[in-house]
Amino acid sequence: MKFGGTSLANAPRMKNAARIILRYSPKNKIVVVASAVGETTDQLIQIAELAKKGNLQQARKLLSKIQASHLKIARMVAGRGETRELVSRLDQLNSELEQTVEGIAHLRELTSRSRDYLLSFGERLSTPILAATMSAMGLRSRALTGAEAGITTDDNFGEAKPLTEISYHQVHQRLDPLWGRRIIPVVTGFIAATVDGSITTLGRGGSDYTATLLAAALGADEIWIWTDVDGLMTADPRIVKNAIPLPYISFGEALELSYFGAKMMHPRALQPAGQKKIPVRIKNSSRPARSGTLVSASESSNGGKVVKAVSIIRDVGIVTVSGSGMMGAPGVAAKVFQTLGSNNVNVMMISQGSSEATISSVVANREVDRAVRALQLALMGQGYVDRIVAEKDACIIAVVGSGMKGTPGVAARIFTAVAKRKLNVRMVAQGSSEYNVSFVVSHKDGPEAVRAIHEEFNLGR
């Protein structure tokens, strides 16, 4: 069971989470994965940026807010005998956190490694609090970091990749004995460590990934993701008022959605579950009786609907490489993607225009400048490429549903719906699975495009 930030945001939510665990614990062996409390990770990112600029005063102010809110929750949830121990554990973490921020501020340097270390405090603070809340309800629990639970990653700080073979082996070794003693492990989501023990993070939203990794390692029967909505919905409910939860969705579809939905679930979280065919339930921690969404290996019927959901990934840019000499020159595309790959630029979408000899790649906004510089160095002045241009502030709209496969006319409906609202489509791609048609519009047009698709395919009914 994984609990997201909102499901742990304050003392009542924390107790609610513990009650859910209590309710299912007698009949099940449970591993709990906890995110950081509420918006803590966002706040730590702000602190990191302030410290990097040397603005220690502002950073400290925000820091004391985080410290106070955690201590407040801790005092309200821990049992009589355990408050002192919990508070002293939090105090210790808090002073380590302060030292880290001071270090960054003194050096005015924030590496991806020190950033991960700083962000790790969110989950390292939340797990002991949840474990203590459970103890106060009579459950035996133990707070562990991702590394202590056995998850080891490579050293790609900020977006580290789990080394599954060794992690799976270690997870067994570390967690099995706890169960043997009827102790429920409460593991930090999001964070792990390299082989030599440096703390890494799995990327934003990484707690989902922690949960699926642990489940795959242990051969769990199910993964339950407790969040603040009734499941995976037809669209982001903040954008589309009449979005509804999807009762069933296949791994293939959910993968496309989470990759493009960005915020709803970590893009790689479904991989371990899909590989081991472990069903994932996404449920609302405020309304646990509702069935939520079941993600499973079976291709679910769509009730006759071709499109199931539409999602948006924001803050992306388009990098376009063009040149008349590119036409008929083999290997240019390979060079483009090799260059982007070796500079750690993640390409989310590709299109190639044949008439004008262009290759466009969609990458995250923050990677656009790096991509352009790398491509300029690698490609300019060799007679093929004359221009490399970048446009920022775009977003990808992904339309997903297995019913689209082999159904003619879906693309036409999509683009007619968008055109009717006078939104300009800048780039189009279809995933090879045919579960997904994606296109790029400018940032400001994104929500309207989502609503256009939602309405065209009647997803709210």
The candidate with the shortest Cα–Cα distance to 435, out of 279, 255, 234, is: 255
Environment class of residue 299 by beta-carbon count within 10 Å: exposed (0-12), middle (13-18) or buried (19+)? middle
Q: Which amino acid is at 35?
A: S
Name the token pair of 375: 């491509």
Q: Is 99 exposed, middle or buried (0-12, 13-18, 19+ CB in 10 A)?
A: exposed
Which of 21, 232, 313, 375: binder of ligand ADP (CB under 6 A)?
232
Q: How far is it, in rounded angstroms, from Cα 47 to Cα 62?
A: 7
CB of 243 to ligand ADP, least distance (A): 7
- Give the dihedral sign, CA 330/335/336/341: positive
Min dist. Cβ of residue 238 to ligand ADP (A): 5
- Token pair, residue 329, equals 């020159």
Asked if 4 interacts with ligand ADP (CB under 6 A), we say yes
Nearest residue (CB) to Mg ion, 132 versus 312: 312
321 belongs to the binding site for ligand ADP (CB under 6 A): no
Q: In the bound complex, what is the minimum distance in angstroms from residue 130's beta carbon to Mg ion?
A: 16
Residue 63 CA, chain-centre distance (Å), reads: 24
Nearer to ligand ADP, 374 or 396 (CB): 396
- The residue from 36, 139, 345, 375 that contacts ligand ASP (CB under 6 A) is 36
Site string for ligand ASP, 182-221 (x = CB under 6 A): -------xx-------------xxxxx-------------
Q: Which residues pair with 201 in a beta bridge?
A: 191
6 lies in the site for ligand ASP, by CB under 6 A: no
Residue 227 C-beta: closest distance to ligand ADP, Å: 3
Question: What minimum distance in Å lies between the beta carbon of 425 and ligand ADP?
Answer: 21
439 by Cβ neighbours in 10 Å (0-12 / 13-18 / 19+) ranks as buried
Least gap, CB of 5 to ligand ADP (angstroms): 4
**What does the radius of gyration of the chain's CA atoms come to, in whole angstroms?**
23
What is the rounded CA–CA span in Å between residue 124 and residue 143?
Answer: 9
Angle formed at CA 241 by CA 238 and CA 247, multiple of 5 degrees: 90
In whole angstroms, the minimum distance from the beta carbon of 263 to ligand ADP comes to 5
Taking the least distance from each CB to ligand ASP, the nearer of 159 and 256 is 159
d(CA 178, CA 185): 7
Residues 133, 170, 210, 227: which binds ligand ADP (CB under 6 A)? 227
Q: Nearer to ligand ASP by C-beta: 36 or 372?
A: 36
Instruction: Tell which one of 233, 396, 437, 459 touches ligand ADP (CB under 6 A).
Output: 233
Task: Return the residue nearest ligand ASP (CB atom).
Answer: 207
Residue 141 in contact with ligand ASP, rule: CB under 6 A: no
The stretch among 61-69, 133-141, 236-244, 407-415 that binds ligand ADP (CB under 6 A) is 236-244
- Per DSSP (E only), the strands in 251-299 are 280-284, 293-296
What span, in angstroms and rounded, lies between the C-alpha atoms of 254 and 309? 10
Dihedral sign, Cα of residue 209, residue 51, residue 144, residue 17: negative
Angle between helices 83-107 and 40-52 (to 10 degrees): 30
Residue type, 22: L
* By CB under 6 A, residue 41 contacts ligand ASP: yes
Nearest distance, CB of residue 44 and ligand ASP, angstroms: 9
The torsion angles phi and psi of 292, rounded to 5 degrees, stand at 70, -155
Q: Which of 228, 291, 324, 421 binds ligand ADP (CB under 6 A)?
A: 228
Q: How far apart are CA 294 and CA 236, in angstroms?
A: 18
The site partner of 6 among Mg ion, ligand ADP, ligand ASP, none (C-beta below 5 to 8 Å per kind) is ligand ADP
204 binds, among ligand ADP, ligand ASP, Mg ion, none (CB under 5 to 8 A by kind): ligand ASP
Q: Applying CB under 6 A, does 236 fall inside the site for ligand ADP?
A: yes
Only segment of 33-41, 72-80, 282-290, 328-336 that touches ligand ASP (CB under 6 A): 33-41
Interacting partner of 453 out of ligand ADP, ligand ASP, Mg ion, none (Cβ under 5 to 8 A depending on kind) = none
263 near ligand ADP (CB under 6 A): yes
Amino acid (1-letter code) at residue 193:
A
Given the rule CB under 6 A, which residues bind ligand ASP?
4-5, 35-36, 41, 122, 189-190, 204-208
Residues that bind ligand ADP (CB under 6 A): 4-7, 35, 205, 227-229, 232-233, 235-238, 261, 263-264, 309, 311
